[in-house]
Amino acid sequence: MSGPAGAPARVPVVIVGGGPAGLLLARLLHLEGVDSVILERQTREHVLSRIRAGVIEWGSAATLRAAGAGRRMDRDGAVHDGVGLSFSGRHVRVDFKGLTGRGVVVYGQTQITRDLYDLVDASGIPVVDRAEDVMPHDVTGPSPYVTFRRDGAEHRIDCEHVAGCDGFHGVCRTVVPPSVLRTYERAYPFGWLGILSETPPVDHELIYAHSERGFALCSMRHSMLSRYYVQCSLEDGTEGWPDERFWDELRRRLPAEVAERLVTGPSIEKSITPLRSFVAEPLRYGRLYLAGDAGHIVPPTGAKGLNLAVSDVGYLAPALADAVRRGSTTGLDTYSERALRRVWKAVRFSWWLTMLMHRLAGGDGFDRRVQEAELDYLAGSEAAQRSFAENYTGLPL
């Protein structure tokens, strides 16, 4: 077996997964003078067709700029200096800029992925798509390697390190034996029905709405592309939510003055997303390192999924460069601990915001009154809003 055409038979780092985490890692390693190869199961067209959220923390934006991926983000992305919270007929704005001096950038994950692909191509980093049956081997020894099939042929790439950026359903986490791997999970008893429509956003900033009928979120991609969500049952299917029903339900969950501004139109994409929290520990096993969704999942309420992938890679890239170029393993030895410390804070914030804003299945009047009291406290407390803003715009790396 050997490396396929366009990919080396040996490289310092094999990256499994060609999503944002894998692409960003490859680019940052290239800037450090470290060669890598990316193995991706899907085609590039499939990867670029996936619709994902795009609320970028200030630290993630800085990392993307450092990688050279900030030009289009800064040109086309929308800087949000706050966010709206609606509940009990009230609408409160949390002023991120005034409270923390920072904001967030709304820029679609698909566009970030496209920008990173362009950089990876320009850097000459090999990307092997349609790589099937990828499997890391001997990751606890000094000479790991990765095997895979492509076009019916078997291939092998020898390396020094393997980065598992292959998502929640990827193979890399399965390499860690059950005696070592610890997992923590929380499944939420509701989902999000989301639509994309070529309509102007209802507001220039995101709106999170808590109502007796359930949660709603008003978001956007740009000035004529809006993304809206409503809390739904896990038993629902998109066929039971024609556009007319969706728009009617969304209006009923928003304050009247917001609902009056809502511009509706045909949906161009519609999907239902279950919500869950998941963390795997450790994120390092020998010379295998998990990053992004391969190691953790958060509900989309806090907009942390992509940002955690970026922060993981922000820790991992210089650690790998130190190991490959300078023989120092200090960064790799502390990678899992440093990354997980930030992961768990994001998991906590995402869980808190999810439980605060959604109508809880089986919840009684006491639960609802506690939610309302906490929202009222958040609306009236500068300290509470500052804590919210610090977590939403991104804790220090």
Catalytic positions: 80, 208, 300, 304, 392
* Residue 36 CB partners (closer than 8 Å, separation 6+): 11, 12, 13, 14, 15, 25, 26, 29, 30, 125, 163
DSSP 302: G
Closest CA to 218 of 188, 261, 187, 189: 261
* Residue 387 CB partners (closer than 8 Å, separation 6+): none
- Check: CB of residue 116 under 8 Å from CB of residue 71: no
SS3 (DSSP) at 364:
coil
Beta bridge partners of 158: 10, 145
SS3 (DSSP) at 15:
strand
Task: Please tell me the number of Cα atoms within 13 Å of 159 on its side-chain side.
Answer: 32
- In which residue are the tokens 């200096």 written? 81
Beta bridge partners of 397: none
Closest CA to 142 of 323, 364, 376: 323
User: What tokens were used for 339?
Assistant: 């990354």
- Check: CB of residue 308 under 8 Å from CB of residue 280: no
- In which residue are the tokens 């309420």 written? 301
SS3 (DSSP) at 102:
coil
Which amino acid makes up residue 14? V
Q: How far is CA 391 from the centre of its chain?
A: 15
User: Residue 296 and residue 308: Cα distance in Å, rounded?
Assistant: 9
